[in-house]
Copies of this chain bind each other. A is one copy, B any other.
Amino acid sequence: MAKTSPGNCFEDFRIGQVIRHATPRTVTTGDVALYTGLFGARFAVQSSDAFAKAIGYPRAPVDDLLVFHIVFGKTVPDVSLNAVANLGYAGCYFRQPVFPGDTLSALSEVIGLKENSSRKTGIVYVRTTGYKDEGIPVLEYVRWVMVRKRDEAAPAPGDHVPRLPTVLDPNVLGEACPPIELPAYDTALSGSPYRFGDYEVGERIDHVDGITVEEAEHQIATRLYQNTARIHFNQYNEGKGRFGRRLIYGGHVISLARALSFNGLANAFHIAAINGGRHVAPLFAGRTVFAWSEVLAKAQVPGREDVAALRLRTIATADRPCADFPLKSGDDYDPSVLLDLDYWVLMPR
């Protein structure tokens, strides 16, 4: 009997099915250092225990996206090993800060299934929850992927498309952020004087800098998350494929864009939620990633006088500086666009 995991095909899923994912993972300051080396983020709260403590955290929390990537990575062998395409995510929000020493695990529930008309594939919707020790939820999101069927003739295992939020309600946004001591939030150390009140809806920010990605970098990052998706690591196979190259994990672009966004959004210290994200085009090694952001909305977080939320749209591009905010070319995306990400960040008021 084969002992290797073939992953699940479309007909293997059931509505309501709950999948506990391998492998639990203790996050350490080692992961944090490597993440810093790979992306170079400079947000003071995640970089400095002293800064984090001064404003009310017990110590520097782990970068929100590092938590996301580790949780996401665990779901790959069960959910998307036979995926044809990652179609989207929605309703992602952070519920507790994660600190070095916490052990992360993940569980997914199948909340939707829809066979495609070709009968060769179907769309699987899962709600994934990341936990830290003793079952405390730290992160929740819905993701949907197009998965191959093993057997075209197999009956569809279900037929339900869940209703998904297009934007997270501001009242969930503060859960992973402790009360912030505003007088201790030192904007010389954080790198920018601009707080919540300084941003306006519709404002656009070119994040100016660019980062060229090397194969070793995205491979190290994606393995750090124990994400096993084959297309990121196997040049022998991918060299024969559609692109002739290893595809870079889409989350790598998100982390690069977030690191670049420091220049212009230095006080957006916490990603509270990701409303949705679209990987418009694949990224390959050797290309240089740029980014710009637009403020889509501003919101008070109920019960919070210390922080408030900006809803941002961040666009990442390849080999295309963003001084003129590239986005569309006619009805389509500009060919340089890699990522279109809609998310909520918290800023001090």
Is the beta-carbon distance between A233 and B215 smaller than 8 angstroms? no
Is the beta-carbon distance between A235 and B33 smaller than 8 angstroms? no
Is the beta-carbon distance between A22 and B37 smaller than 8 angstroms? no
**Contact flags A24-44 to B (C-beta < 8 A → 1, else 0):** 111011111110111110111
In the complex, whether A308 has a CB less than 8 A from a CB of chain B is no
Interface residue range, chain A: 35 or more
What residues of chain B lie closer than 8 Å to A345, measured between beta carbons?
Answer: none
**Contact flags A268-296 to B (C-beta < 8 A → 1, else 0):** 00000000000000000011101000000
Q: How far is the CB of A227 from chain B (nearest CB, A)?
A: 8
Give the complex CA separation of A190 and B20 in angstroms.
10
Q: Which residues of A are at the interface with B, using a C-beta cutoff of 8 A?
A: 1-5, 20-26, 28-34, 36-40, 42-44, 47-51, 60, 77, 100-101, 103, 105, 133, 188-192, 194, 198-199, 205-212, 214-217, 219-224, 226, 228, 230, 233-237, 246, 263-266, 286-288, 290, 319, 321
Sample (23) of A-B pairs whose CB atoms are under 8 Å apart: A2-B205, A2-B264, A22-B189, A23-B43, A23-B47, A24-B44, A24-B50, A25-B48, A30-B34, A37-B220, A37-B223, A40-B226, A40-B233, A48-B103, A49-B103, A50-B133, A51-B103, A209-B230, A210-B233, A210-B237, A212-B219, A212-B236, A235-B288
